[in-house]
A = this chain, B = another copy of it.
């Protein structure tokens, strides 16, 4: 399905799936009051969108946006039509990537255009078709369902990152951060910042859908968009929490590194002191003075040796006690 234009189109009458539609006969589609058509496209060419633009009077700017990717989430009104862009997210290895779902909504049609996402709308459509009570509410119900579906897709992404981040957090106190850990920390930090920046306009879209008096959105459906906003807000809260954890992991890593170096410095100091003592004493008795009475004592050597060892031993114990060793 990737790379190919895929058209799924069907008319809904009284909330129930009726006949499928064919893009080539768009001029012949007819709707009674309460009917609507839901057309789904995947990475369409301009040609397909042009046909729909002619049929439903879509705005040229909206068409342009639906053709290209890398748009920020947004909600625009063109006359009595809505144009909504939402971003899908997925995780490959440690890299988040984004797709885009553009949605045209008119009184009797809804067109969903997917770019760069693997999750098809087929399941969603099937699920909705089993719930005519909802579909009876019309295009805004489908709009809500698609947005909800997109936002539900954020969950597994966040969970996967959460798992890895919490595992990092679990070991940072005990093990020095490897280069790979640092790479992961900063990669996620950057990606979550970007994700957060993407959630902001998503929140705005859902807030406007529930607060403004928009075409095609009946007041009775507003609680459903409130629900989407809530979900986005919870995701945003988790993202913020993860960013906090990443910041903490890095700061703990710094502190632990500093403490480790401190430990080494102390050890170095302790051993240097312990070994410098016999060296200095031995140096003294290695001097070649003619008159050094100790040198002629019968047990001088042993006494000095024992002194050295005793001093070293005492020092060692002392350093053990103050925890330098």
Docked-complex contact A255 and B254, CB < 8 angstroms: yes
A257 touches B259 (CB 8 A): yes
Contacts A190-B245, A233-B72, A255-B257 given; does A279 touch B283 at CB 8 Å: yes
How many copies of this kind of chain does the complex include? 5
How many residues does chain A have at the interface if contact means C-beta atoms less than 8 Å apart? 86
Instruction: Indicate whether A30 reaches chain B with its CB closer than 8 angstroms.
Output: no
Collect the chain B residues with CB atoms within 8 Å of residue A298's CB.
Answer: 291
A194 touching B255 by the CB < 8 A rule? no
Answer whether residue A218 sits at the interface, using C-beta atoms and an 8 A cutoff: no
A264 neighbours in B (Cβ, 8 Å):
262, 265-266, 269, 324
Cα distance, A230 to B324, chains bound together (Å): 52
Query: Knowing A252-B182, A269-B264 touch, does A304 contact B289 (C-beta < 8 A)?
Result: yes
Interface of chain A, helix or strand or loop or mixed? helix
Closest B residue to A261 by CB, please name it.
B262
Q: Cβ of B255 and Cβ of A258 under 8 Å apart? A: no
With the chains together, A285 CA to B257 CA distance in Å? 41
| A16-24, A100-108, A113-121, A236-244 - the one binding chain B | A236-244
Whole-angstrom distance between the Cβ of A315 and the nearest chain B Cβ: 10
A59, A230, A287 interface centre (most CB from chain B within 10 Å): A287
Whether the pair A230, B265 counts as a contact (CB closer than 8 A) is: no
Min distance, Cβ A225 to any Cβ of chain B, angstroms: 11
A153 → B minimal CB distance (Å): 18
Q: A193-B240, A250-B255, A268-B272 are in contact. List 9 more A-B contacts (CB 8 A).
A: A61-B226, A72-B230, A261-B265, A271-B276, A280-B282, A282-B283, A289-B301, A290-B296, A290-B297
